[in-house]
A and B are shown apart, each in its own frame.
Chain A
Amino acid sequence: MTTMQTSMPAQAVYKDTRSLWEKLRTNRNWLALWFMLPTAAFLILFLAYPLGLGVWMSFTDERIGRTGIFVGLENYEWLWNDSIFWLSVFNTLLYTIIASVIKFAVGLYLALLLNRHMPFKAMIRAIVLVPFIVPTVLSAIAFWWIYDAQFSIISWSLIKLGLIDHNINFLGDPNMARGSVIFANIWRGVPFVAITLLAGLQTVSPSLYEAATLDGATDWQRFRYITYPLLTPIIAVVMTFSVLFTFTDFQLVWALTRGGPVNATHLMATLSYQRGILSGRLGEGAAIATAMIPFLLAAIAISWFGMQRRKWQQGSDND
């Protein structure tokens, strides 16, 4: 108590003589803000502003070359009764769900395989990355030839092998076309999942596997109780990105089918482009694009709350 009393007057004497500008310039919290400003400005200009503009546009009847007027929810009401829009929603969900699940399964399997000791490991890892490195449009063109109605190498091979007697109509039949674009998307997406999960696998200490082996775990139990739970944080991040990329995919489908045959492969992104840019109805196109946002937010929310529950990752309290 005595020490407190004696120190009190000393404190009162101290007076901050710095100017307001000086304080703002050196205060730690404000300093952080200063450093963030350039990035924030960049993000606002190139991300937030176009996004806001897009959402605004979806409430107008803007067309290319003519400023629109505010029409409220008219675009959305129109879409609500548009069967092609609903078909594109269905296609997008189908495309995203099937492709993501398969990408996850194949990617995880590849990652586990690449994590083992084997000859030419570095080279095989490099080869696995190839589909990811090739520009999307380039690989789409390759797939376009692979799926070509007349010159498809798959049809040709199967005919030569005597398994079928006429060319497969890869991109002409609605369901075949859906399958074909999904396959192409999987081919492109697997390396990203595989390499990222491989990086995650390599952070798992080998001694944990040894400990589990001595504890009596079989290969499957080691995966089930050690690898998988330790990998969940990375799986959550990778699959969030994978789902977001797949859901918003445009290039591959546009280069392969342009949404055909008869809108069977139209995704929300391709439909939005077709209506907004090609047909010039910017308002309607913006409304389709804006309609994707709730789906994307839902995907992020799921992974966010999934990751939140990993209690073992957080805190190192010693209390």
Chain B
Amino acid sequence: MASVQISDVRKSFGGFEVLHGVSIPIEDGAFVVLVGPSGCGKSTLLRMLAGLENITSGTIAIGDRVVNNVQPKERDIAMVFQNYALYPHMTVAQNMGFSLKLRNAEANDISTRVKKAAEILDLAPLLERYPRQLSGGQRQRVAMGRAIVRDPQVFLFDEPLSNLDAKLRVAMRTEIKELHQRLKTTTVYVTHDQIEAMTMADKIVVMHDGIVEQMGSPLELYDHPENQFVAGFIGSPAMNFLNGHLKVNGAQPYVETDNGSRLPISSAPAASDGRPVIYGVRPEHLDLASDGIEVEVAVVEPTGSETQIVARIGSQELIAVFRDRHQVAPGDKIHLRPRAEVAHLFDKDTGRRL
């Protein structure tokens, strides 16, 4: 196990810079998830950590050792690939033992360690199978087995669950988290799925266009997003954003939307009256209340445990989620009241939190 220190790392392909100075401290034993939309540079960063891509500038250190010029095999890391990258011509046992074989480990030692890893991952009955004879979830576990057999300093996961169906994904999520709690190996996990990030991470790093937008614990990011991007990216369904202007002159400050509705806020930030802002409120923080803002229901989506309502306020769309079952139908007028204490305000121009 080791800590990882990513300091001001940049990456260019040709003349095109894709990572613009990324710094991420990763504590020993932490489970860190890099999350962001496609093309944000998260996979590139992971591959640089693995040694599959060169580092244009900045440093990456594993433990106390700067690894910029260290060969991948000397870095003592193991990686799980999106397509698993299992060797098709080797059995499960050979796949898992390959790295040990290359290190000239003794056959006995290899077989003991492979068996141990197979037991952890429930793979013992499959050891003599070839990858073709395995299901998606089993392949995924073999890929993980190949990583843990080596007992590396750091585990790297590159979108490992994206090839699985929805149900299996949830199951594997739990399995990976359990594995981490058991082995406590430092883990860097890349995904574009914010739910994976929220459920698995000790620390989430939200990336966008080659920079780190915010890092912190899942709930920190959820409760205090530093900018509109993070606010919109974390949480499902996504946070609602309404354009409006700050009104701070009265006794109770509020945000007035373009069509005149008043949105409550608990305290006014240090800002002038009439400043254009973006008002953010999560779908679960909207209550049905007669003194709320009037909206027109467009779509009702019941999921059983909760009901999602898509409503329109002027030209803007609003999503609300209710645990209780309310009788609403498309076309109804309902009144929604945002909870002032959990509403977020963002600067209209910079998107920064106010």
Contact surface of A with B, Cβ cutoff 8 Å: 205, 207-208, 210-217, 221, 225-226, 229-230, 310-313, 315-318
A sample of 29 inter-chain contacts (CB < 8 A) reads: A207-B81, A210-B50, A211-B79, A211-B85, A212-B98, A213-B73, A214-B52, A214-B72, A214-B73, A214-B78, A214-B79, A214-B99, A215-B73, A215-B98, A215-B102, A215-B146, A216-B73, A217-B102, A229-B89, A230-B89, A311-B130, A312-B131, A312-B132, A313-B88, A313-B132, A315-B132, A316-B132, A318-B133, A318-B134
Q: For residue B50, which residues in chain A have a CB less than 8 angstroms away from its CB?
A: 210, 214
Q: Does B290 contact A (CB under 8 A)?
A: no
Q: Is the interface of A mostly helix, strand, loop or mixed?
A: helix
Q: Contact at A205–B79, with CB atoms within 8 Å?
A: no
Q: Which residue of B has the minimal Cβ distance to A318?
A: B135
Q: Contact at A217–B87, with CB atoms within 8 Å?
A: no
- A-B contacts besides A214-B77, A214-B78, 7 pairs, CB < 8 Å: A210-B85, A211-B87, A214-B99, A226-B87, A230-B88, A313-B88, A315-B132
Q: Which residue of B has the minimal Cβ distance to A230?
A: B89
- Size of chain B's interface in residues, with CB distance under 8 A? 28
Q: For residue B83, which residues in chain A have a CB less than 8 angstroms away from its CB?
A: 205, 207
Q: Which residue of A has the minimal Cβ distance to B132?
A: A316
Q: Does B325 contact A (CB under 8 A)?
A: no
Q: For residue B79, which residues in chain A have a CB less than 8 angstroms away from its CB?
A: 210-211, 214
Q: For residue B77, which residues in chain A have a CB less than 8 angstroms away from its CB?
A: 214
Q: Per-position contact with A for B234-276: 1 when CB-CB < 8 Å, else 0?
A: 0000000000000000000000000000000000000000000
Q: In the complex the two chains form, what is the Cα distance from A30 to B124 in whole Å?
A: 47
Q: In the complex the two chains form, what is the Cα distance from A230 to B150 in whole Å?
A: 24
| Best-buried of A211, A213, A215, A216 by chain B (most CB within 10 Å) | A215
Q: Contact at B72–A213, with CB atoms within 8 Å?
A: yes
Q: In the complex the two chains form, what is the Cα distance from A310 to B130 in whole Å?
A: 11
State how many angstroms separate the Cβ of B190 from the closest Cβ of chain A: 14
| Best-buried of B51, B83, B102 by chain A (most CB within 10 Å) | B102
Interface set, chain B 173-216, CB cutoff 8 A to A: none
Q: Contact at B132–A216, with CB atoms within 8 Å?
A: no
Q: For residue B87, which residues in chain A have a CB less than 8 angstroms away from its CB?
A: 208, 211-212, 225-226
Q: Does B103 contact A (CB under 8 A)?
A: yes
Contact of B85 among A208, A216, A310, A313 (CB under 8 A): A208
Q: Per-position contact with A for B43-58: 1 when CB-CB < 8 Å, else 0?
A: 0000000111000000
Q: Which residue of A has the minimal Cβ distance to B88?
A: A312
Q: In the complex the two chains form, what is the Cα distance from A197 to B72 in whole Å?
A: 28
Q: In the complex the two chains form, what is the Cα distance from A315 to B131 in whole Å?
A: 11
Q: Contact at A316–B73, with CB atoms within 8 Å?
A: no
State how many angstroms separate the Cβ of B186 from the closest Cβ of chain A: 16
Q: In the complex the two chains form, what is the Cα distance from A2 to B78 in whole Å?
A: 59
Q: For residue A313, which residues in chain B have a CB less than 8 angstroms away from its CB?
A: 88, 132
